[in-house]
Structure 1
Amino acid sequence: MQVTRQSSPFERKTGVESGAVVPVDVPELYHLFPKPGSKPDWYPRPATKVQLVGFCDWLSIYQRHHCGGLPKVADGAVIRVDADGVVESTTLKKLQVEGSHETSVFIRCDGETVWFDGNVSRWGRPDNVFGYPFRQCLQIINNLLVSMGLPPFTEGERFISNFKGEPRTVWTGARVTRVDVTRNFSTGSKEDAYHFMRYLQGQQASRLKTGTYGEGETVDWGRGSRYLYYKAYLKGPELRRHAGRSVPGDDLFKPALDPYVLQLADWCDSVGLVRFEMTFKATKLHDMGCSHLGGFDMKQLEIEFESKAEVLTRASADVDQISQLPKPLLSTYRMWQAGDDITTKLKRSQFYKHRRELLSFGVDIAIKSNVLQFQPKTRVIQLGPVSMPDFYELPTIERKRYGSHY
């Protein structure tokens, strides 16, 4: 199966330059997007939260307020007691804040530090086929915090510290520990979407293990990694699994199907919508210099996202290329194509030699073949952009001015 890319977000003109800084309507002290030129001369390049690729789903962020005195928000506590019955520590549990459409996020405050975890683009909505960029997600979070009597997440103050003899930029504000960046692709039809997922099952990304789940509707890489985890899945079937909603009945709450979500799932099938989603974890964000909200640079995440999304458009070998392989290599390919366990057919050194040579054709014999039998020719699938359907509902983000006492 050969896969080609139809368009790239870095090739089209967006009207926003790389590294641009966009101001929002909040007080200067807590300005999340300072005006251009407001940064000191020693700052090499302004960090940006302007997102040009895809949108965000899950965000995890926290901030410590040394002044204290904040209202405590929690769902109970976990108390640790030693052998003598003395309380060693008390940890507040996250409070599950429920929104409409059976959605929820998690908030916790111990009087000094505020934590937030949740799928912001999904919260209070029946779906998240299309969501919000990072800075709008942050605005939703801050609006929710203020409504609960908590201060919003801010950049804080910036200063230079000396770390092992080298200067390092440090911020006193919020810290970001997880960001999920996601993007939609269209394969053209439901049939092509399933063919494409079967193609992905045979693709390896770097040294990360490839996993397949469900009925081949989800393929992921790097499950369990402390740095990055990414996956591709069909959005239509995923929507149907969550289309049920609870409505009052005579005696019990019986699940009913949301007609809007079902309509949206049918539309996802009709365009062959494939979702690619990447999770940036705390260690990776720290290594990228994006763990501080003040220094958060969405451009760095987008570059990493595009690099890993290459697995979606990696070309596979076609019939003409394979037919001209040397006989030993062609024999190994045919055995792999038939589903044989190559490790039992070849010597260890020969296996790795053939694997290295076949990888240049987009074939990895270390992964079990999922090639369809009796397929007469290479199937070409183009990945294209996805636009919102006319009936789609994407609420407008309400902008609020935070009080000076925060």
Structure 2
Amino acid sequence: MAAVFAPDFLAPAGRDVHVTRHFSPTSGIYAEKDNNFHAEKPRQDLTQEATFCDWVSIYQTHTGAGLPVLSDGYFVRFDAEGTHEGTTLKKVRIEGSHETAIFIRSDGETVHFEGNVSKWGRPDNVFGYTFAQCIARINTILQSKGLPPFTAGKKGEVNTPNGWRTQWTGARITRLDLTENFAAGSAEDAYHFMRFLAAQQASRLKTGTHGQGETVDFGRGSRRVYSKAYLKGPELLKHAAKPNKTQTDFSKEYDPYLNDLANWCNSVGLVRFETTYKSTFLIDNGQQFLGGINMSKLEADFKERQTVFTRANCDVEDISSLDAKTLAVYRMWEAGDDITQKLSRSAFYRYRAALLPFGVDIAIKSNVIKFQPKTRVIKLEAVKMPDFYKMPPPSFVRLVA
């Protein structure tokens, strides 16, 4: 897989561009703990194989390093009186294959990175990489651009208004997305599960349903954390080219692998669960430093948020096998209609006999006596990677200038 990079836009030759620095928002003075102020390696607490990392936003300041300036132009801010307030460099969009992209910016000292590094340069990210593997991929990309890697830096304590706190001088994380796959068993059961999920409540987070019910989210617009579940098969097919479709210079090329993968996702009823941890949440929980991030702790929170998906088995009415006419009669009964006034005597008893095995007696109005229909249980299971899945090693990053 080849990745094509967009052109780099550096500061114009012979012209100084004064850039507002983006230093780490620290206050106070670092103190060496026990006179042993030394660099420490970042924690290597890897997430379990079932949990992957998608999007990462991270930055690090290398004071006085004289790094290459990497940007796609810059924004200049002036106040109402025309006084220059600051200049911010625009991020360079790094194009990858399969219409993927990541973003990098360097002002000569501070390097910023953001994007879905797990998906970058790949046709899909049904299965992805751990956080540690994603950082390794990011550092490989930075190296190709002549930029230093993100590191843990040095550990110390800083005096803040709330007392002494542990901080690191290395990279800081401002967004981190974790994700996990579940199997409902079939496409039909997956849709049933999403309807069940749409009626659930996750703490104080607002529940929303999008598309044709393929996506249910919790906390949209939150400044701290945002979770969602969606059906991966329909999502893949939505972005895939259709077979036997007339191709143009601007249309996507049909990829049988991607369509086979989407069909496999549908066959197992793959439900994707993702959680976005934003800067406020990371800071409040002491997870903003690359050197101090504790993935075991973060994953524990991720698992806790999954309880909205697994807090109870999903019981759905087992009426999917009914023919269209019998199902229509059931819906009329469920709405409270008097079925005896809707059908002939023979038809009434025929449909009554068909529905009684499901716990429904249309001879009694549903708004008079509540019958409990027969149900079947949809239980989410872990998902195993199919044999045909193409999973490049995390170190594989081929760059084409």
- Relative to the length of structure 2, the TM-score reads 0.71
CA separation in 2, counterparts of 1:377 and 1:146? 60
| Corresponding position of 2:230 | 233
CA separation in 2, counterparts of 1:165 and 1:104? 40
| Corresponding position of 1:383 | 380
Closer, same or farther: CA 387–82 of 1 in aligned 2, 3 Å? same
Determine if contact 2:44/2:132 at 8 Å carries over to the other structure.
Answer: no
| Corresponding position of 1:392 | 389
Shift of 1:376: 2.9
Shift of 1:256: 3.1
Shift of 1:183: 0.2
User: Is 1:199 equivalent to 2:196 in the alignment?
Assistant: yes
**1:84-114 CA distance string (max 9 Å, x none):** 6553321111110011111110000111100
| Corresponding position of 2:122 | 125
Match of 2:141, SS state, is: helix
| Corresponding position of 2:273 | 276
Shift of 1:374: 9.8
Pick from 145, 150, 153: which aligns with 2:147?
150
Shift of 1:396: 1.0
Determine if contact 1:139/1:399 at 8 Å carries over to the other structure.
Answer: no
CA separation in 2, counterparts of 1:193 and 1:250? 33
Determine if contact 1:212/1:219 at 8 Å carries over to the other structure.
Answer: yes
**1:149-174 CA distance string (max 9 Å, x none):** 00000000111223346331110000
Shift of 1:287: 1.1
**1:247-303 CA distance string (max 9 Å, x none):** xx9973223332111100000000000000000110111111110111001011111
CA separation in 1, counterparts of 2:247 and 2:149? 43
| Corresponding position of 1:57 | 54
CA separation in 2, counterparts of 1:293 and 1:382? 36
Aligned pairs for 1:251-400 (under 5 A) are: 252-315=249-312, 376-398=373-395
CA separation in 2, counterparts of 1:167 and 1:253? 57
Determine if contact 1:157/1:172 at 8 Å carries over to the other structure.
Answer: yes
Aligned length: 307
Closer, same or farther: CA 85–313 of 1 in aligned 2, 3 Å? closer
* 1:144 partner letter: I
Q: Which runs of 4+ in 1 moved over 4 A?
A: 49-53, 82-86, 316-319
Return the index of the structure with the highest Cα Rg.
2
Closer, same or farther: CA 103–380 of 1 in aligned 2, 3 Å? same
CA separation in 2, counterparts of 1:67 and 1:87? 24
Closer, same or farther: CA 227–76 of 1 in aligned 2, 3 Å? same
| Corresponding position of 1:103 | 100
CA separation in 1, counterparts of 2:135 and 2:280? 21
CA separation in 2, counterparts of 1:46 and 1:185? 28
Pick from 221, 226, 240: which aligns with 1:224?
221
* 1:228 partner letter: V
Match of 2:395, SS state, is: coil
More deviation, 310-319/220-229:
310-319
Q: How many percent identity over aligned positions?
A: 58
Match of 1:159, SS state, is: strand
- Relative to the length of structure 1, the TM-score reads 0.70
Match of 1:397, SS state, is: coil
Match of 2:389, SS state, is: coil
Give the RMSD, CA atoms, in angstroms. Answer: 2.9
Pick from 137, 140, 144: which aligns with 1:140?
137
* 1:270 partner letter: S
CA separation in 2, counterparts of 1:317 and 1:203? 11
**1:229-260 CA distance string (max 9 Å, x none):** 00010000000111139xxx997322333211
Ranked by relative contact order (alpha carbons within 8 Å, sequence separation 6 or more), the top structure is 1
| Corresponding position of 1:211 | 208
Shift of 1:46: 6.4
- Runs of 5+ consecutive residues of structure 2 not aligned to the other structure: 1-35, 317-333, 337-369
| Corresponding position of 2:110 | 113
* 1:244 partner letter: A
Shift of 1:47: 7.3
More deviation, 76-85/259-268:
76-85
| Corresponding position of 1:91 | 88
Match of 2:53, SS state, is: strand
| Corresponding position of 1:48 | 45
* 2:52 partner letter: F
- Runs of 5+ consecutive residues of structure 1 not aligned to the other structure: 1-38, 320-336, 340-372, 401-406
* 1:101 partner letter: H
Match of 1:286, SS state, is: helix
| Corresponding position of 1:4 | none
CA separation in 2, counterparts of 1:105 and 1:374? 54
**1:323-350 CA distance string (max 9 Å, x none):** xxxxxxxxxxxxxx969xxxxxxxxxxx
CA separation in 1, counterparts of 2:262 and 2:48? 26
Closer, same or farther: CA 375–117 of 1 in aligned 2, 3 Å? farther
Determine if contact 1:158/1:171 at 8 Å carries over to the other structure.
Answer: yes
Determine if contact 1:96/1:104 at 8 Å carries over to the other structure.
Answer: yes
